Structure 1
Amino acid sequence: MDGASTLGVVSVLPPLIAIVLAFWTRDTILSLAIACLVGILLAGEGLLGFPNLMMKALGNEDFSWIFLLEIFIGILIAFFQRTGAIQSFADVIGRKNYSRKRIGITSWFMGLFVFFSDYFSPVFVGSTMRKVTDKVRISREKLAYICDSTSAPVSVIVPITGWAVFISGLLIGLGPIQNETDALAVFTRAIPFNFYAVLSVLFVGLIVSGIIKDFGPMKKAEERAITKGKLIRDHSTPLISKELTNIDPYFKDRLLSIVWNFFLPVLLIITIAVGTYIGLGSAKTMEAFLAAVIFLGILMRFQGIPVKDIMDTAMNGIKGIMPAIMILVFAYTINTLSEQMGTANYLIQVTESWLNPGLLPAITFLLAALIAFSTGTSWGTFGIMIPIAVPIAIGFAGGDINTIVLATVAAVAGGGVFGDHCSPLSDTTILASTGAAVDHIDHVRTQIPYSLILGGIGTLIYLILGLLG
Structure 2
Amino acid sequence: MIGTWVSILPPLIAIVMVLATKRVLLSLGSGILTAALLVASFAPVETVKHLWSALTVSFWADGELNTYNIFIMVFVLFLGIITAFVSLSGGSRAFADWAVRHIKTRRGAKLLTVFLGLLIFVDDYFNSLAVGQVSRPITDKHRISRAKLAYFIDSTSAPICVVSPISSWGAFLIGQLALILGTTTAVNYSPLSAFLMMAPMNFYVIATLAMVFFFAWTNIDFFTMKKHEEIAQKTGQLFDPEKEIPGQLKEDFPEHNYGRVLDLVAPILTLVAVTLGMMVWTGYRATQSLNIWAIFENTDVPLSLVTGGLIGTLLAAILYIAQMGRNETASYRLVGKALSTGVKAMMPAILILLLAWSLTYLIDILETGPFLSTVVEKSNIPVNFLPVIMFILAGLMAFSTGTSWGSFGILLPIAGTIMINAAPELLLPALSAVLAGAVFGDHCSPISDTTILSSTGAGSNHIDHVATQLPYALIAAAIASFGYIILGLTGSVWVGLIGVILSIVVLFTIWTVKSRRQIELTT
1:459 and 1:97 map into 2 onto residues whose CA distance is 37
Q: Is the 8 A contact 1:141 1:442 kept in 2?
A: yes
1:196 and 1:159 map into 2 onto residues whose CA distance is 18
Structure 2: tracts of 5 or more residues without a match:
61-65, 284-294, 325-329, 492-523
* 1:172-205 CA-partner distances (Å, limit 9, x unpaired): 2323479xx9212211111111111222122111
Per mean C-alpha deviation after superposition, the further-off stretch among 121-130 and 105-114 is 121-130
Q: Is the 8 A contact 2:80 2:247 kept in 1?
A: no
Match of 1:331 among 326, 331, 356: 356
* 1:233-271 CA-partner distances (Å, limit 9, x unpaired): 36332223443xx443x661322x322x22222222222
Match of 2:371 in 1: 346
Letter in 1 for 2:337: D
Secondary structure of 1:143's match?
A: helix
Residues 1:233 and 2:229 aligned together: no
Match of 2:465 in 1: 443
Q: Is the 8 A contact 2:110 2:217 kept in 1?
A: yes
Letter in 2 for 1:51: W
Q: Is the 8 A contact 2:443 2:470 kept in 1?
A: no
Per mean C-alpha deviation after superposition, the further-off stretch among 81-90 and 10-19 is 81-90
- RMSD over aligned CA atoms reads 2.3
Distance 1:385 1:247, change over 3 A: farther
Bigger Cα Rg? 2
Match of 2:222 in 1: 215
Q: TM-score, normalised by structure 2?
A: 0.82
* 1:308-360 CA-partner distances (Å, limit 9, x unpaired): 43232122111110000000010001001100111111111222233443112
Residues 1:118 and 2:120 aligned together: no
* Alpha-carbon offset, residue 301 of structure 1: 2.6
1:240 and 1:273 map into 2 onto residues whose CA distance is 21
Residues 1:162 and 2:168 aligned together: yes
1:268 and 1:368 map into 2 onto residues whose CA distance is 37
Distance 1:148 1:28, change over 3 A: same
Secondary structure of 2:258's match?
A: coil
Residues 1:147 and 2:153 aligned together: yes
* Alpha-carbon offset, residue 406 of structure 1: 1.6
Distance 1:40 1:176, change over 3 A: closer
* Alpha-carbon offset, residue 97 of structure 1: 6.2
Match of 2:495 in 1: none
Letter in 2 for 1:368: A
Q: Is the 8 A contact 1:164 1:184 kept in 2?
A: no
Q: Is the 8 A contact 1:376 1:420 kept in 2?
A: yes
1:159 and 1:81 map into 2 onto residues whose CA distance is 36
Highest RCO, 1 vs 2 (Cα 8 Å, sep ≥ 6):
1
Match of 1:55 in 2: 56
1:393 and 1:51 map into 2 onto residues whose CA distance is 41
Secondary structure of 2:163's match?
A: coil
Q: TM-score, normalised by structure 1?
A: 0.91
Match of 1:316 in 2: 341
Residues 1:35 and 2:31 aligned together: yes
* 1:117-158 CA-partner distances (Å, limit 9, x unpaired): 211222222233223322322111111111111211111111
Match of 1:415 in 2: 437
Structure 1: tracts of 5 or more residues without a match:
none
Residues 1:8 and 2:8 aligned together: no
Match of 1:173 in 2: 179
Match of 1:198 in 2: 206
Match of 1:17 among 4, 13, 23: 13
Q: Is the 8 A contact 1:58 1:332 kept in 2?
A: no
Number of residues of Structure 1 aligned to a counterpart in Structure 2: 455
Match of 1:258 in 2: 261
Residues 1:224 and 2:231 aligned together: yes
Secondary structure of 1:153's match?
A: helix
Q: Is the 8 A contact 1:90 1:128 kept in 2?
A: no
* Alpha-carbon offset, residue 41 of structure 1: 1.7
Letter in 1 for 2:273: T
